[in-house]
Amino acid sequence: MATLAVVALQNARKNARDAKRMADVKQIQTALELYYNDIGSYPLTGEIDESIATGSNTYMAIIPTAPTPADGDCSDEENEYTYTSSDGITYTIEFCTGSGVGGLNEGLKLASPSGIVSTTTPPVPWACGDSLTDSRDSNVYTTVEIDTQCWMAENLAYLPVVHSNSEFQTQGGSSLPGYGVYGYDGSDVPTAKALDNYTTYGVLYNFFAVDQVSICPSGWSVPTDAQLTTLTTYLGGESVAGGKMKETGTTHWNSPNTGADNSSGFTALPAGNRDTNGSINGLGDYSIFWSSSEFGPGASWFRGLYCSGAEVGRSGDSQAYGFSVRCLQD
């Protein structure tokens, strides 16, 4: 309770400082308008210092200074009232608030005879097609919208731990999460992440990692079997959808990479798989993606794409295998 009280008091003081900043600027504007009514112009830059006055008329005896400390993203330099007028016809007062005030965004603001506006624009809402940063490890993924679904356009690379071949077999045999990188038979995460196979193909997960751990970033999840069917149906059915999902060419896929045009933007790569005994197979030949749906006791649904055809194979197999994962936005 004491901590909550301190936080509440700090926020109250911050809000009070922002309210004073807005009130100060509006009072300065009122004084400037009175000055304008008498003189027919606004003071030029440098003509006002501690007060706004001319002759025997004083419109503001003491120009207020911004309360300290600066708040939010405002720097000490920005936490000032900076007046500028080069022609006497108009003026600006630049100032900064640490939070949104009066319907305006936090940050720098400009006051002028026409009112007060923010000079910062609100953050642009995230949209499918923008890059996605995983806050857990700072990995950045491209995304793609396919019909009404938003997919990662890269294999998931979340790697909290990594298992050697024997460890991967033990994990799967014990119904525990298993993580692996193609070609790496060790247990050191930094070493695994330094490999080109990790950067290119991501991580191979057993189903227990899919089922027992939130391996996708917040707001994303491993697709169900039905959601994968929605994808392949939209792409023309399982007989042709694979070609529309595969990266073109033979930079990663082995020849002939039949039917690949990647017209969906899914950009599937041939990451192969990890067998239940921890051995690795199929790099360049095929890509297999887990669904989050069980096929039967000890087995789950997956989708396979192959260099030799344009189809998508739908089947189920042991949950101890290591397959790739593509996350789908919730």
Q: How far is CA 215 from CA 84, 172, 233, 235, 251, in A?
A: 54, 17, 26, 26, 28
Same domain, 288 and 310: yes
Residue 323 lies in a domain: yes
Residue 266 lies in a domain: yes
Find out whether 78 and 86 touch, Cβ atoms under 8 Å. Answer: no
Residue 324 lies in a domain: yes
Residue 127 lies in a domain: no
Same domain, 23 and 67: yes
Residue 179 lies in a domain: yes
Point out the domain boundary residue: 118, 148, 179: 118
Same domain, 144 and 268: yes
Displacement of CA 295 from its chain's centroid (Å): 33
Give the model's pLDDT for residue 11. 79
Q: Tens digit of pLDDT for each residue in 193-250? A: 999 999 999 999 999 999 888 899 989 999 999 999 999 999 999 999 999 999 999 9
Residue 59 lies in a domain: yes
Give the model's pLDDT for residue 13. 87
pTM of the model: 0.66
* Domain containing residue 89: 2-118
DSSP string computed for 293-318 = EEEETTEEEEEEEETT-S-EEEEEEE
Same domain, 181 and 283: yes
Same domain, 87 and 136: no
Point out the domain boundary residue: 118, 153, 180: 118
Number of structural domains in the chain? 2
Same domain, 225 and 300: yes
Residue type, 135: S
Same domain, 137 and 49: no
Please list, residue by residue across 39-78, b when 16 or more beta carbons sit within 10 angstroms of its beta carbon and e when fewer do.
eeebbeeeebeeebeeeeeebbeebeebbeebbeebeeeb
Residue 10 lies in a domain: yes
Same domain, 70 and 190: no
Residue 124 lies in a domain: no
pLDDT < 50 stretches in the chain: 1-4, 6-7
Residues with Cβ within 8 Å of residue 302, at least 6 apart in sequence? 288, 289, 290, 291, 314, 315, 316, 317, 323
Torsion (CA) 240, 246, 249, 252 in degrees, nearest 10? -140
Q: What backbone phi and psi angles, to 5 degrees, belong to 216?
A: -85, 155
Same domain, 105 and 171: no
Point out the domain boundary residue: 118, 146, 175: 118
Q: What percent of the chain has pLDDT over 90?
A: 78
Torsion (CA) 38, 39, 45, 48 in degrees, nearest 10? -50
DSSP string computed for 173-194 = HTT---EE-TT--S--HHHHHT
Same domain, 300 and 192: yes
Q: Tens digit of pLDDT for each residue in 49-88? A: 789 998 889 999 999 999 999 988 888 889 999 999 988 9
Same domain, 182 and 287: yes
E strands, the chain, are 52-54, 57-60, 82-84, 92-97, 107-112, 115-118, 132-133, 140-141, 143-146, 149-152, 179-180, 204-205, 220-221, 273-274, 280-281, 286-296, 299-306, 312-318, 328-329
Same domain, 106 and 202: no
Residues with Cβ within 8 Å of residue 249, at least 6 apart in sequence? 257, 260
Query: How far apart are alpha carbons 73 and 96 in whole angstroms?
Result: 9
Residue type, 223: P
Pairing of strands 149-152, 143-146: antiparallel
Give the model's pLDDT for residue 12. 81
